[in-house]
Amino acid sequence: MRIRYYFRLLRDIIRIRFAKVKEYPADFLTLFITVPAYLLVTLFFWHTIFSHVRVIAGWTLADVVLLQAFMQLGFVFWNIMYVFPEELSDMIISGELNTVLSKPANPILYMMLLYFDVVNGLWNIPEAAVYFIAAFWLGAQVSLTGLLAGTFLMLLGVTITSVIVFLIESLSFWFGRTNLLDLFYRAYFTVVDYPLAVFPLSVKFLLVMFLPVAFFTTGPALVSLRDYPLTGVVGLFGLSLLVLGVWFLAAWIAWKAGLKRYEAYGS
Amino acid sequence: MLAENVITVDKLVKVFYSRKKEGVRSLFRKKEEIVAVNNVSFKVKKGEIFGYLGENGSGKTTTIKMLTGILTPTSGSARVLGFVPWERKNEYLKQIGVVFGVRSILFWDIPAIEAFRFYRDVYEVPPDDFEERLEYFDSILNVKKLAKKPVRKMSLGERMKCSLVAALIHYPKIVFLDEPTIGLDAVSKEAVRDFIRDFNKRHKLTVMLTTHDVLDVEALCTKVILLDKGRKIFQGTIPKLKKSYLGYKILYVEYNKIKNKPLLESVLRMGRLIGRGTNWVELEVKTDGRLPKTVAGLLKAVNVVDLDVKEPGLDRLLVKVYGEKK
């Protein structure tokens, strides 16, 4: 692996993203209006729900806001690093992948760099910060090590999600445009908004093993809580690594087989 | 000393399988076999600019995709700079450049200079060399000032100039140009041709060019390969191509007086009339010995003011080749 080589390309891409901000300053500035508006609406939503009930499936308002904080933190990483799986289908259909394959770099890393967007993820940082502050203010019982463990678990969760999206988008190698499958992971992003505990056991199992929502938001929020048992933390980490391994293997096989098909059939 | 072969293609075949109709039903239809490239062999020497010509769907782009490592062939072999292209080794990809005319490799929203810097690092060009190369590109294409303009605000011609710089910033040994002048106005086309010619001369760049613009071919190519439905039907120089396929020349005569009208009419029947005015005629005359007789006849029949015998243009030739096949 040529680490320095890819870091140089990363530096170039970061410069390119900021050059784009300079080209469209008004677009960037609108974030200062839309982000607080979005925050107000979502906080108001949860406040309204919890004005009718004290807890939902064992989750208090503070816990749910903590979950939202991890979700926003997850989107920071998602929007910065993992946009490229969402673009894979279009790259295959449009033939953009040809350009990628003719460059002297690893195709996946090259695609990841092309869509690496540090600016895109920046606006989720204040959102996450406000949610964390709100969670503490509402009395969430968290520890620093718990928060770190939660962040790490969330990173694993985001990676698992991106691997699944990559796998889904890889289907374009065989079936052409698969935009309708986007709905599949859009539904996924709807589910991450809520604690896993609200779902029946069978759905919970599904959301841990097959659509691993658990590791994106619920898991990180749980492990950051002070009274969450160590065995639970270890179990969640072990399970997340297992799930990541299985999905990664499936996505890797799909990519390799898809690329072989692409080399044989073209776009 | 003989120039080395940098591209050697031997019996290359590419077959695609496709189902006729799109949609779910198509999954159950029988696959149709499409032979995109059929048993094509050729060799290219270092520093040659060779045109790879053919109608749409004749297999030009498919061949380029195989030689740039994007597609693997169904059978046959190829070596480019000593590498098997579809193994896609980084050492190989660093030595080639690719321009797909319809697809820009620039970043749409920002100035082109950012793309130049990015590709500088993709191909690991040393910073000093990069500056020196930019000076060179600027001297021919005037890109330095242009590169500060966002790509979205550029004209098509300006974008192509910058795309060429981005694709050649690493000074590749071979460049594959797929329709580099598509959609450009006459001035931009000429600028692109001048640049390719100069780059080829200075750096011994080997160019594989596919184009529908015969002026590109006539202005740049030392050798051409003609494809028809995936098959190579000709390989050689442009004069040889014209000789093989046309076998006629164009005779233009301008006169101020007709001395013998019946003789003029009988001389004109020796060729195929392609144009006639009050004091001029233009006709195709076969080069089977008829040309001197026709000229002699015309000199007797009219009072000649101007006379010109010229090779037919490549466009006529291509229309003849592909038109006849249809």
Contact call for B109 and A176, based on CB within 8 A: no
If pLDDT is split at 50, 70 and 90, which confidence band does B228 have? confident
Q: pLDDT exceeding 70 applies to what percent of chain A? A: 97
B302: helix, coil or strand? strand
Residue A104 is nearest to which of B86, B90, B110, comparing CB atoms? B90
Interface membership of B324 toward A (CB under 8 Å): no
Interface membership of A265 toward B (CB under 8 Å): yes
Pairing of strands B223-228, B272-276: unpaired
**pLDDT on residue B48:** 94
Residues in A closer than 8 angstroms to B110, CB to CB, are 16, 19-20, 23
If pLDDT is split at 50, 70 and 90, which confidence band does B28 have? low
Most A CBs within 10 Å: which of B65, B105, B125, B178, as the mutation test of the A interface?
A: B65
Interface membership of A16 toward B (CB under 8 Å): yes
A161: helix, coil or strand? helix
Please answer whether residues B288 and B246 qualify as being in contact, where contact means their C-beta atoms are separated by less than 8 angstroms: no
Most A CBs within 10 Å: which of B34, B61, B66, B71, as the mutation test of the A interface?
A: B71
Pairing of strands B223-228, B231-236: antiparallel
Place of tokens 């071979």: B174
**pLDDT on residue B214:** 81
For residue A258, is pLDDT > 90? Answer: yes
Nearest CA in chain A to B19: A175
Place of tokens 């969450």: A228
If pLDDT is split at 50, 70 and 90, which confidence band does B324 have? low
Interface membership of A54 toward B (CB under 8 Å): no
| pTM as predicted | 0.84
Return d(Cα A163, Cα A156) in angstroms, integer: 10
For residue B212, is pLDDT > 70? Answer: yes
Quote the domain boundaries for residue A69: 2-266
- Pair of tokens at residue B213: 């613009």
Interface membership of B26 toward A (CB under 8 Å): no
For residue A13, is pLDDT > 80? Answer: yes
Contact call for B123 and A266, based on CB within 8 A: no
More confident residue, B289 or A88: A88
- Pair of tokens at residue B120: 């500088």
**pLDDT on residue B16:** 87
Return d(Cα B262, Cα A121) in angstroms, integer: 86
Residue B86 is nearest to which of A12, A96, A263, comparing CB atoms? A263
CB neighbours (10 Å) of residue B124? 12
Residues in B closer than 8 angstroms to A103, CB to CB, are 93, 122
Which range scores top for mean pLDDT: A187-196, A203-212, B23-32, B197-206? B197-206
Return d(Cα A150, Cα A113) in angstroms, integer: 26
Please answer whether residues B171 and B203 qualify as being in contact, where contact means their C-beta atoms are separated by less than 8 angstroms: yes
Residues in B closer than 8 angstroms to A265, CB to CB, are 16-17
Nearest CA in chain A to B16: A265
Nearest CA in chain B to A96: B103
Number of structural domains (chain A) is 1
Contact call for A265 and B16, based on CB within 8 A: yes
Q: Which CA distances in Å does A135 have to A61, A227, B165, B269, B275? A: 8, 16, 53, 98, 88
Please answer whether residues B271 and B290 qualify as being in contact, where contact means their C-beta atoms are separated by less than 8 angstroms: yes
**pLDDT on residue A203:** 86
Mean pLDDT of A124-147: 90
More confident residue, B308 or A228: B308
For residue B101, is pLDDT > 80? Answer: no
Number of alpha carbons in the 13 Å side-chain half-sphere of residue B214: 12
End-to-end CA distance of chain B: 43
**pLDDT on residue A38:** 85
Contact call for B71 and A13, based on CB within 8 A: no
Nearest CA in chain A to B98: A102
For residue B325, is pLDDT > 90? Answer: no
Among A180, A152, A38, CA closest to B24:
A180
CB neighbours (10 Å) of residue A147? 18
Contact call for A266 and B65, based on CB within 8 A: yes
Among A265, A106, A111, CA closest to B88:
A106
Interface membership of B121 toward A (CB under 8 Å): yes
Interface membership of A263 toward B (CB under 8 Å): yes
Nearest CA in chain A to B65: A98
**pLDDT on residue B29:** 64
Residue range A72-104, pLDDT digits in tens: 999 899 989 888 998 899 899 888 899 999 999
B253: helix, coil or strand? strand
Average pLDDT, chain B: 88
Instruction: Spell out the residues 6+ positions from residue B156 whose beta carbon is closer than 8 angstroms to its own.
Output: B183, B184, B188
Mean pLDDT of B107-134: 94
Please answer whether residues A171 and A255 qualify as being in contact, where contact means their C-beta atoms are separated by less than 8 angstroms: no
Residues in B closer than 8 angstroms to A20, CB to CB, are 107, 109-110
Return d(Cα A261, Cα A249) in angstroms, integer: 18
More confident residue, A36 or A220: A220
For residue B22, is pLDDT > 70? Answer: no
Q: pLDDT exceeding 90 applies to what percent of chain A? A: 47
For chain A, give the number of residues: 267
If pLDDT is split at 50, 70 and 90, which confidence band does B188 have? confident
